[in-house]
Structure 1
Amino acid sequence: MALFHKVLRGTYILRKCSKPTSALHPLLGIRFADYSSSLQKPVASPGKASSQRKTEGGLQGHHQKEVALDITCPEEKPDVSFDKAIRDEAMDHFRRLKDEIVNHWKGPEGRPLQEALLEQAKVVWQFRGKEDLDKWRVTSDKTIGGRSEVFLKMGKNNQSALLYGTLSSEAPQDGESARSGYCAMISRIPRGAFERKLSYDWSQFNTLYLRVRGDGRPWMVNIKEDTDFFQRTNQMYSYFMFTRGGPYWQEVKIPFSKFFFSNRGRIRDVQHELLLDKISSIGFTLADKVDGPFFLEIDFIGVFTDPAHTEEFAYENSPELNPRLFK
């Protein structure tokens, strides 16, 4: 009876643990392995017996080594340390903060300051992979109960971003919203170390430069500036972008002086000049009240200096509208 108990115990330990050593099953280990291997041995000539024995020994050792590497004991638990994860996260943020300080002294994006000041054009966003799409987010009137849908994916050959969907101006049946029908694509606010909000400095440029391909619909280009500690989500600067249908790309150039100030989608009577050294994000909105499918393909978004454009601000402010400007 005791012998039978030892046999069962050895078999249970063999199933539970990964390493089939003879120490775990002293009664079945070596002899059972030799017996099973002897059953599978083919009949060989005496001259080849030694070489075949060496080959089988090498294959058996290699097989045992693979088993020991691939199969793990279920009792072994992964070593998870929350303190180490927090420490690694803090070290990563301090490393990013050090890089920001070094780049600030060297110049924008780590380049020499003289080189950055002399550049005439700059690509801010381009779309060549999934990591470029992660810098953007899409939204629609579904957030208020509407029926519009919008999607963002990479274009052909990973050389552009394709914004597409369906616009629906049907108002939600909630008893509150009287109008609907918009889709938008908005860039994410850049973040530095410790999740600090960063901004873009375009003060040395005077024109927004885009290479797009659309279906003939008019879009609204929106630029937000970060001037306060808290981001003012309802205030932005906007201008129109008219696309033409067809297979050809078009280059859109919009001077920053043309962007008008709006709040909650309404153009304000008092206009303010866009502060180009505190740009937080840019976006594209479709709300032309034409139901149906749409698409907008974007190659890149950049800024450049147009020497022919000398206008500083395209809109006037009268003393009645803004007396503070005329004191």
Structure 2
Amino acid sequence: MALLHKLLNGIHFTKLCGIQDAARCFLLGPVFAGYPSRLYSSIKKTEAASGRSSPEGKTHGVLEKQTKSEVDLGLISPKEKIEIIFDKAIRAEIKEHFKLLTKEVVDRWIGPEGHPLHEVLLENTRVMWQFRSDEDLDKWLVTSDKTIGGRSKAFLKMASNKQSALFYGILNTELPHDGETQRSGYCAMTSRIPRGAFERKMYYDWSSFNTLYLRVRGDGRPWMVNIKTDTDLIHKSQHLYSYFMFTRGGPYWQEVKIPFSKFFFSSKGRIQDSQHQLLTDQISSIGFTLADKVNGPFCLELDFIGVFHDPAHTEEFAYENNKKICGNL
């Protein structure tokens, strides 16, 4: 650790902003790779601070008269020698992660996810995601067939009243001209996997609930609701539990309730003969996919996504679990 400290203290990068990012990722790892703004906040312009002229003959006073665009963007002259102080950034990140770790320990001591045990036992509903600000949108990822060369477009933004989110775009089933792709035309939004201290993967525990509860307003298109469980193992990275959500269209909100027992198991986009029950104690993410092969615009408005316990629903698994058909599950 002392050797790494000395190494980082002695590093100076000139002209090569791209190499700065590469060195940061290589030496510091994924924990500190996503925070360039904090690292660059500790940059000291040594020559400007001392009042000496730059290699081009510009004094500190002249440098202040740079164009407004350069000042706003915080651009650094490629010939200017800069010094990056890693210690301050590293200490700030470690301090922040230890704060998260302390919060996790305190919440664990109080009860599940920081709620007292008696409240958890009496809890019948829980709102997992709601859409009230731009920070709520940052918890989601938007993808489309553009990743494989398709032409669909998808966007996610807050509604004008700031009380819901709009997932909208244009679905296009035209195949990319690569000679390999046989199917195209999908748009999806997926929740980010929760992260704890030191970028550890966290999971949602929904074992006290048996139903997914959504309040949406669609345009009449059918959507696929996808739930992903623990994906630490490589062979499970393509596993999904899915069910259909049929929207009505029109101006009225629609409350959708989907029991967890209805979700069917698929792998790499194919429904499997051997069905497995959804285990709700390690949920990593939830998502919505549109792939109904109908070209044109689409729009799905979301108010909140939650879970609740329906005492009237007693079904454990809706699909056949015959060992002669499915094998040993």
TM-score bucket of the superposed structures, by smaller chain: 0.7 to 0.9
2:135 is the counterpart of 1:131: yes
Q: Helix, strand or coil: the match of 1:162?
A: strand
Q: Which amino acid is 1:308 matched to?
A: A
Return closer, same or farther for 1:17/1:256 CA change in 2, 3 Å cut-off.
Answer: closer
- What corresponds to 1:274 in structure 2? 278
**How do 1:157-168 and structure 2 match up within 5 A?**
157-168=161-172
Q: Deviations over 1:266-286 (max 9, x none)?
A: 110000000100000000000
2:293 is the counterpart of 1:289: yes
Are 1:218 and 1:240, in contact at CA under 8 Å, matched by a contact in 2?
A: yes
2:239 pairs, out of 235, 239, 244, with 235
Q: Deviations over 1:133-163 (max 9, x none)?
A: 0000100000000010000000121100100
- In the alignment, the residues of structure 2 paired with residue 313 and residue 94 of structure 1 have an alpha-carbon distance, to the nearest angstrom, of 41
- What corresponds to 1:245 in structure 2? 249
- How far residue 95 of structure 1 moved from its aligned partner, in angstroms, is 1.4
- How far residue 94 of structure 1 moved from its aligned partner, in angstroms, is 1.2
- What corresponds to 2:86 in structure 1? 82
**What TM-score do you get using the length of structure 2 for normalisation?**
0.74
**What TM-score do you get using the length of structure 1 for normalisation?**
0.74
Aligned residue-pair number: 254
- In the alignment, the residues of structure 2 paired with residue 217 and residue 87 of structure 1 have an alpha-carbon distance, to the nearest angstrom, of 50
- How far residue 17 of structure 1 moved from its aligned partner, in angstroms, is 7.3
What stretches of structure 1 of length at least 5 have no aligned partner? 1-11, 19-76
- In the alignment, the residues of structure 1 paired with residue 167 and residue 248 of structure 2 have an alpha-carbon distance, to the nearest angstrom, of 15
2:189 is the counterpart of 1:185: yes
- In the alignment, the residues of structure 1 paired with residue 312 and residue 130 of structure 2 have an alpha-carbon distance, to the nearest angstrom, of 26
- How far residue 108 of structure 1 moved from its aligned partner, in angstroms, is 2.4
Return closer, same or farther for 1:250/1:219 CA change in 2, 3 Å cut-off.
Answer: same
2:313 is the counterpart of 1:314: no
Are 1:227 and 1:278, in contact at CA under 8 Å, matched by a contact in 2?
A: no
- How far residue 320 of structure 1 moved from its aligned partner, in angstroms, is 2.4
- Residue range with higher mean Cα deviation, 94-103 or 220-229: 220-229
- What corresponds to 1:200 in structure 2? 204
- In the alignment, the residues of structure 2 paired with residue 119 and residue 94 of structure 1 have an alpha-carbon distance, to the nearest angstrom, of 30
- In the alignment, the residues of structure 2 paired with residue 232 and residue 196 of structure 1 have an alpha-carbon distance, to the nearest angstrom, of 18
- How far residue 78 of structure 1 moved from its aligned partner, in angstroms, is 9.9
Q: Which amino acid is 1:312 matched to?
A: E
Q: What is the RMSD of the two structures over their aligned residues, measured on CA atoms?
A: 1.9
Q: Helix, strand or coil: the match of 1:301?
A: strand
- In the alignment, the residues of structure 1 paired with residue 101 and residue 108 of structure 2 have an alpha-carbon distance, to the nearest angstrom, of 11
- What corresponds to 1:153 in structure 2? 157
Paired-residue identity, %: 70
- What corresponds to 2:222 in structure 1? 218
- How far residue 114 of structure 1 moved from its aligned partner, in angstroms, is 1.4
**How do 1:77-116 and structure 2 match up within 5 A?**
81-116=85-120
Are 1:201 and 1:277, in contact at CA under 8 Å, matched by a contact in 2?
A: yes
2:259 is the counterpart of 1:255: yes
Q: Which amino acid is 1:137 matched to?
A: L
- In the alignment, the residues of structure 1 paired with residue 171 and residue 158 of structure 2 have an alpha-carbon distance, to the nearest angstrom, of 20
Q: Which amino acid is 2:145 matched to?
A: D
Larger Rg: 1
